[in-house]
DNA sequence: GGCTTATGCGCAG
DNA sequence: TGCGCCTAAGCCA
């Protein structure tokens, strides 16, 4: 589920498994053969994520950039890697572990200049430590665009996807169509703080859970209890029982409670 | 087993 | 605005 928490978790896990070691790289599918050849036998020094982008820094200066897009996935294991099957874009392995990348939108080698360009078009990332949210909040406060669109704009905020968008708006009881400049700045600050908490929890848990304990049954968080509004069209709101509404906004499915998040 | 759907985003037009 | 990417989980039978 590639929102920002997924990429930060991948960066963390890959750092643990491969950081500081020499890796074998290959592209059985054939779409990244030259890149894999360049990485093969290099030391993977450092991995990091910015928003939904993953970067690997290698000992000879090579930088790998991965963007999962909608379909991309890493599968990872310890010990001997399985026989390559299907469209396996990139396999990395050391003596301890392996990881396979499939279906990614971007899997490419980039220069430091290209990294700089990439980062320049990303807004603040709630998952990067000590990030100043001011540029995002100021931009929202100036914009006539709906807050529901702005939250998903990676140049405003990096790492927020459709699930966090819907859920953080619900938790703020905010109408997704309200213009950014009409959202009180206190509320914007609270939403940023909420994103930091929710997305960090997402990294730890490896999935998105936004419901508060008091708003769901006790015990393990079941899949259908993890969200307030995302993919709950027609189901009763957990707070007020009004059926959850959905609509397309900027080519993405938007979910909200028409009562808790009423326009005003 | 098959069908539907999706967490993203760049590009054509 | 709508398509293409081309994976895999979730759902149904």
- pLDDT 10s digits, A9-19: 999 999 999 99
With tokens 């982008």, the residue in question is A53
From the list A188, A119, A114, A207, the residue with the least C-alpha distance to A147 is: A188
pLDDT of A103 over the 70 cut: yes
Q: Alpha-carbon distance A117 to A5, whole Å?
A: 22
pLDDT of A56 over the 60 cut: yes
Strand B bases, protein C-beta under 7 A: 6-10
pLDDT of A107 over the 60 cut: yes
* pTM, 2 dp: 0.95
Distance A32 CA to B5 C1' (A): 28
CA atoms within 13 A on the CB side of A35: 21
Are residues A203 and A159 in contact, defined by beta-carbon separation less than 8 angstroms? no
Tokens in use for A219? 């015990």
Are residues A16 and A10 in contact, defined by beta-carbon separation less than 8 angstroms? no
Q: Which residues of A are catalytic?
A: 2-3, 52, 252
Q: pLDDT by residue (tens digit) across A204-222?
A: 999 999 999 998 877 778 7
Domains of chain A: 4-120 (3.20.190.10), 134-256 (1.10.8.50)
Strand C contacted by A70 CB (< 7 A): yes
Q: pLDDT by residue (tens digit) across A178-195?
A: 999 999 999 999 999 999
Structure confidence at residue A248 as a pLDDT band (50, 70, 90): confident
Give the pLDDT confidence score for residue A264 in this predicted structure. Answer: 79
**What is the sign, positive or negative, of the torsion defined by CA atoms of A37, A43, A49, A50?**
negative
Nearest nucleic acid nucleotide to A71, CA to C1' distance: C7
Nearest nucleic acid nucleotide to A121, CA to C1' distance: B9
Are residues A226 and A208 in contact, defined by beta-carbon separation less than 8 angstroms? yes
Give the pLDDT confidence score for residue A1 in this predicted structure. Answer: 57
Q: Alpha-carbon distance A95 to A18, whole Å?
A: 9
Q: pLDDT by residue (tens digit) across A135-177?
A: 999 999 999 999 999 999 999 999 999 999 999 999 999 999 9
């Amino acid at each position: 589920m590639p929102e920002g928490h997924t990429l930060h978790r991948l960066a963390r896990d890959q750092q643990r498994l491969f950081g500081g070691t020499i890796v074998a790289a290959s592209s059985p599918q054939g779409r990244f053969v030259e890149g894999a050849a360049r990485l093969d036998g290099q030391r993977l020094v450092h991995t990091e994520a910015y928003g939904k982008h993953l970067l690997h820094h290698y000992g000879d200066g090579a930088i790998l950039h991965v963007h999962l897009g909608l379909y991309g996935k890493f599968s990872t294991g310890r010990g001997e890697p399985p026989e390559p099957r299907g469209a396996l874009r990139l396999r990395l392995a050391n003596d301890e572990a392996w990881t396979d990348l499939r279906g990614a939108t971007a899997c490419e080698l980039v220069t430091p200049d290209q990294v700089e360009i990439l980062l320049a078009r990303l807004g603040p990332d709630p998952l990067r430590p000590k990030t100043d949210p001011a540029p995002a909040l100021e931009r929202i406060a100036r914009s006539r665009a709906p807050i529901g669109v702005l939250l998903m704009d990676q140049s405003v905020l990096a790492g927020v996807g459709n699930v966090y968008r819907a859920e953080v708006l619900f938790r703020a009881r905010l109408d997704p169509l309200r213009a950014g400049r009409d959202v009180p700045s206190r509320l914007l600050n609270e939403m940023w703080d909420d994103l930091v908490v929710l997305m960090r929890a997402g990294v730890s848990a490896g999935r998105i859970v936004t419901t508060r304990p008091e708003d769901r049954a006790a015990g393990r968080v079941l899949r259908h209890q993890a969200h307030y509004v995302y993919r709950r069209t027609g189901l009763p709101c957990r707070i007020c029982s009004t059926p959850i509404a959905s609509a397309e906004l900027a080519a993405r499915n938007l979910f909200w409670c028409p009562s808790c998040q009423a326009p005003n």
